[in-house]
């Protein structure tokens, strides 16, 4: 691969790394600012999750606790909303916003929100595809070299293209994740006000917290896209850019 392509990719990857670090810093800054700001309702993250689940008819979902800071997540197969130590017993605006966001994912599953369903389908496919991508490209290269003398398209070439497509599933997953996360935050803000957990005056602070978190997914998407393009271009040059019929 020409040196200029490496330099371009390095610049893009560095840019994505800076964007990702900036997004993470904004999340930490937002949580520091609003994680010490008690809500007027004095409801904790646990209280919030329980209230919202009950109010929305999600009777079979439990609220659990996991170690760490902002390690919160919804586990659909186990039917549990796991809240981190920093959120579970915290009655701050940031904590209830994060807890409500996770309940937002529960609502997406129960309401059959299409991007959420699509992302759930992509999880095992993406994991499987990412493991096969590089082996397929390498096998394709060997086959291509063995039969190149025959001229024209070879099975090896198309096998390598299949590897690139499988690698691209991770970028597709990151793309589908964006509307899922933004929609969960939208649902969270709506539920927090409807259930009286936050007032209209407190809501903008929760929105800033959730918006900061959403930026990390934008950074992840851009990073995934850059790596996918790098992989695709690498395969193109690996096969010598030969014309295929």
**Residue 62 is assigned to a structural domain of this protein:** no
Average pLDDT over residues 99-115: 96
Comparing 70-74, 157-161, 223-227, which segment has the lowest mean pLDDT?
Answer: 157-161
**Residue 50 is assigned to a structural domain of this protein:** no
C-alpha span between 207 and 71 (Å, rounded): 19
Tokens of 140: 């394709």
**Residue 29 is assigned to a structural domain of this protein:** yes
C-alpha span between 15 and 143 (Å, rounded): 37
**Residue 53 is assigned to a structural domain of this protein:** no
Gyration radius from the chain CA atoms? 23
Catalytic residue among 102, 181, 200, 201: 102
Regarding predicted confidence, which is higher, 139 or 63? 63
**Residue 10 is assigned to a structural domain of this protein:** yes
Range of the domain at 7: 3-38+92-238
**Residue 182 is assigned to a structural domain of this protein:** yes
Average pLDDT over residues 93-105: 96
Answer yes or no: 102 catalytic. yes
Domain count, the chain: 1
Give the global pTM.
Answer: 0.84
pLDDT tens digit sequence for 153-197: 566 667 777 778 888 888 899 999 999 999 999 999 999 999 999
């Amino acid at each position: 691969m020409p040196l200029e392509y490496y330099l371009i990719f390095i610049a893009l990857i560095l840019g994505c790394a800076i964007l990702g670090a900036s997004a993470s810093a904004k999340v930490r800054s937002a949580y520091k600012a609003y994680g010490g700001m008690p809500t007027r309702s004095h409801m904790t993250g646990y209280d919030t999750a329980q209230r919202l689940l009950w109010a929305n008819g999600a009777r079979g979902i439990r609220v659990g606790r996991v170690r760490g800071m902002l390690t919160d997540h919804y586990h659909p197969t186990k039917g549990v909303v796991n809240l981190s130590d920093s959120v579970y017993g915290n009655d701050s605006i940031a904590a209830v916003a994060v807890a409500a966001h996770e309940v937002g994912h529960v609502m997406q599953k129960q309401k059959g929100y299409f991007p959420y369903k699509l992302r759930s389908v992509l999880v095992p496919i993406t994991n499987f595809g990412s493991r096969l991508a590089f082996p397929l490209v390498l096998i394709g290269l060997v086959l291509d070299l063995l039969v190149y003398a025959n001229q024209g398209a070879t099975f090896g070439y198309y096998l390598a293209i299949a590897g690139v497509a499988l690698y691209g599933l991770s970028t597709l997953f990151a793309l589908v994740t964006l509307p899922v996360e933004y929609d969960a935050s939208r649902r969270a803000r709506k539920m927090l006000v409807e259930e009286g957990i936050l007032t209209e005056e407190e809501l903008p602070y929760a929105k800033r917290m959730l918006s900061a978190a959403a930026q990390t997914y934008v950074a992840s998407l851009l990073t995934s896209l850059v790596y996918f393009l790098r992989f695709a271009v690498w395969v193109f040059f690996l096969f010598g850019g030969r014309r295929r019929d």
